Amino acid sequence: MMAALLLTCLIAVVEAVGGWLTHSLALLSDAGHMWTDVSALGLALLAAWFAGRPANRKRTYGYVRLEILSALVNGVLLLAITVFIVVEALERLKHPAQVHLGPMAVVATIGLAANLVAMAFLHSGHSLNTRSAFLHVLGDALSSVGVLVGAGVMAFTGWAWVDPVISMGISAVVVVGGWRLLREAVDVLLETVPPHVDMDGVEKALECIPRVTAVHDLHIWTVGSGMVALSAHLVVDEPSACENDTILAAAKRALVERFGIDHSTLQIESRGYAGTGAG
């Protein structure tokens, strides 16, 4: 991620200067996306550093939730820069500008190559935070391809309006990724059941454990990327201390092996206790 950040910083400066010199809105749009990448990667690195800090008595989960906040900020940045680009593109449609195509294509090629290298650095990451940074870089790679296509079309046709139109097309693609990222981050903050977890399946699996007659107050949520937590009350018939350990072991084994949930808190209670409504 550090290598991707340094590379992105360098290319963002090159594309910003190149866009200004060539009067290419598409190239400036690409540079704008790359500056959001710089922010995204910086936040991702900061969040990763905090996430690695140990838990304490005040923050019992540590700082793993910071990566979700970072992803949320990155999603907002993606949408904000896209709005700016679309507004500028609409203005360019009214007042087309002359674009210097040769330098524009050269700078876009350099940017595309740099984006592909940065994507290779980030591809192996699986956290939501790393995925958010990867989406930023992917959006820039698409921008660079769009710039190159636009330069070729304008070179053959002389249509100046192609530059802002391609900018808006790139923005539409980035909006889709940014919206998906925002939705996932918000779902985590709202402690929504993770999409890969079958809530009904978990409940049935717990109910199938010997001596368990019912399950209630079942909650499943994501703490941070790769960390799913669960809490539930298991109602058993004639509980005893000896059998409680057996029931707990069977429940935790089912949760880990069938659903990949290894952070669970289970309360065992009798039918009479459950009937009182005590939580």
Give the integer Cα–Cα distance in Å for 203 and 217. Answer: 10
Give residue-wise pLDDT tens across range 222-247: 887 668 999 999 998 875 656 888 89
* Top-confidence residue, 75 or 189: 189
Q: How many residues does the chain have?
A: 279
> In the Cβ-directed half-sphere of 235, how many Cα atoms lie within 13 Å?
16
What pLDDT is attached to residue 276?
58
For the stretch 81-136, pLDDT in tens is 788 778 878 887 887 767 777 777 887 788 788 878 878 877 766 566 666 677 76
> Regarding the domain delimited by 199-275, which CATH topology (the fold level of the hierarchy) does it fall under?
Alpha-Beta Plaits (3.30.70)
Q: What is the pLDDT of residue 47?
A: 64
Distance CA 251, CA 81 (A): 48
Mean pLDDT of the 170-181 span: 75
Q: pLDDT band at residue 182, thresholds of 50, 70 and 90?
A: confident
Decide if 3 contacts 106 (C-beta within 8 A). no
pLDDT tens per residue across span 14-40: 877 877 777 776 677 677 667 667 766
pLDDT the model gives residue 51: 62
In the chain, where does the domain assigned CATH 3.30.70.1350 lie? 199-275
Q: How many C-beta atoms surround the C-beta of residue 201 within 10 A?
A: 11
Q: Which two tokens stand for residue 177?
A: 């990724």
Is 2-189 a domain of CATH 1.20.1510.10? Answer: yes
CATH 1.20.1510.10 in the chain, residue ranges: 2-189
CA nearest to 37, candidates 16, 61, 64? 16
Q: 3 vs 30, 36, 114, CA distance in Å?
A: 20, 16, 11
Among residues 74, 31, 63, which one has the least CA distance to residue 180?
Answer: 74
pLDDT in tens, 39-92: 667 766 776 676 667 777 777 777 777 777 777 887 787 788 788 778 878 887
Beta carbons of 258 and 196 less than 8 angstroms apart: no
Angle, CA of 190, 193 and 195, to the nearest 5°: 115
